[in-house]
Structure 1
Amino acid sequence: MTPKPSNAYERILLTASKLFYQKGIQHVGINEVIAAADVAKRTFYKHFPSKDQLILEVMLYREKQWLQWFEESVEQRGKTAKEKLLATFDVLGEWYAQPDFRGCPFINAVLELANANHPVHHVSARLREAIRTHIKKLAAEAGVRDPETFSQQYLLLIGGASLMATIEGTPAGATHARQALSVLIDGS
């Protein structure tokens, strides 16, 4: 069992992150977060004046954590840029295979919060762009002729693989995406 952080802010943030991912943002109320984080209402509102602020800070936290995990995991998997590109779907496949996988939290948040002007949409778009930029850099290093187009095609593969994993409850989409990515790399 993981001990709870002693810092109330962090405890609330981590608790909300877990609950939002497990149940969905719209299905988790402030009182549930307060009770699960074991903090007083006053303490909660001192750190998060609204649920929207909590949602935003959770997604900013997740963005940083996810991108760091993804880039470090990929870096450890390959020596060449091509190996690293292909390894992205090995890493994602392992994530999709986790028993608590419930889809991409960024896609989930965008779908749940239909307002395109909600700050969470901007966080999700920024993460998507960070992934694309990282892939574009690896593609250039791998000698791909058009890294810009390749990076957009990659995003289609990762979106499709994530959706398959969510709907089908299996990491098989990552394997299919890896095969398609190999064809794209070799064809360039």
Structure 2
Amino acid sequence: MSARSKKPASLPSKDRALSKRELLLDAAWRLFYRDGFHAVGIDTVLAEAGVAKMTLYNHFPSKEDLIVAVLERRAEQFEGSLAAAVEAAGSSPMKRLMAVFDWHAEWLRSPEFNGCAFIKAVAEYPQGDAKPHQVAAAHKQRIYQLLESLLREIGVPRSAVIARQLELLIEGAIVSAHVYGRAEAAGGAKAAARSLLVGVP
């Protein structure tokens, strides 16, 4: 058999398992984000992923475990991308803070934007002890902590209080973009943030 016609080697079993897990997470993310967590059944996820039910339960003992894994991965991707945008803004503390709003503006304008998965998770799991609720709340808290740390870089007094106000501007922009289709909402939030920080270099 020639080198050209030779079949590619099979993935090691560990890599195949990882691939199946990623297929499940990808499929579940698309469906949950589009249709909601409660509305999507396990069979729908399996059909979308092309994976057997036993494979799913080998990775995720319950549907809630799958939801939690999807949210945790989304949080990691979201926060990693946002942090990279802040770092790319350079060394100016104010530019780094404004990069948070610019990043959100780009997200709200993107074709795949369909609201915030974490807000949706809290709406569908309103009990504070529900794991999806906790994952969503932890993600939102880390965004707040990022804002506060950037305000401290600038030297803003009462950074904890101002960070909560900036957080409200961002959350309002996300909801406005989703409810009204106002993709420019993040720009308004950025302008309001600048007004809050008048006099800060």
**TM-score band, normalised by shorter chain:** over 0.9
- Where does 1:64-103 land on structure 2 (aligned, <5 Å)? 64-103=76-115
Q: Is the 8 A contact 1:70 1:91 kept in 2?
A: yes
Q: How many residues align?
A: 184
Q: CA deviation at 1:19?
A: 1.0
- SS of residue matched to 1:27: coil
Q: CA-to-partner distance for each residue in 1:73-104, whole Å, 9 max, x for gaps?
A: 22213431111111211110110011121111
In the alignment, which of 8, 16, 21 is matched to residue 28 of structure 2? Answer: 16
Q: Say whether 1:47 aligns with 2:66.
A: no
Q: CA-to-partner distance for each residue in 1:127-183, whole Å, 9 max, x for gaps?
A: 111111111111011121111111111111111111111111122210110001101
Identity of matched residues, %: 36
- SS of residue matched to 2:114: coil
Q: Say whether 1:152 aligns with 2:164.
A: yes
Q: Normalising to structure 1: TM-score of the pair?
A: 0.92
- SS of residue matched to 1:28: coil
Q: Say whether 1:116 aligns with 2:128.
A: yes
Match of residue 40 from structure 2 = 28
Match of residue 197 from structure 2 = 185
Q: Is the 8 A contact 2:24 2:49 kept in 1?
A: yes
- The amino acid of 2:84's aligned partner reads E
Q: Say whether 1:56 aligns with 2:71.
A: no
- The amino acid of 1:138's aligned partner reads L
| Further displaced range: 74-83 or 94-103 | 74-83
Match of residue 142 from structure 1 = 154
The gaps in structure 1 that reach 5 residues or longer are none
Q: CA deviation at 1:116?
A: 2.5
Q: Is the 8 A contact 1:78 1:87 kept in 2?
A: no
Q: Tell which structure's C-alpha radius of gyration is larger.
A: 2
Q: CA-to-partner distance for each residue in 1:91-123, whole Å, 9 max, x for gaps?
A: 101100111211111011111223322111111
> Over the residues paired in the alignment, what is the CA RMSD in angstroms?
1.5
Q: Is the 8 A contact 2:38 2:124 kept in 1?
A: yes
Q: Normalising to structure 2: TM-score of the pair?
A: 0.86
Following TM superposition, where does structure 1 have runs of at least 4 consecutive aligned residues deviating by more than 4 angstroms? none
Q: What CA distance in whole angstroms lies between the structure 1 residues aligned with 2:176 and 2:91?
A: 29
Q: Is the 8 A contact 2:147 2:167 kept in 1?
A: no
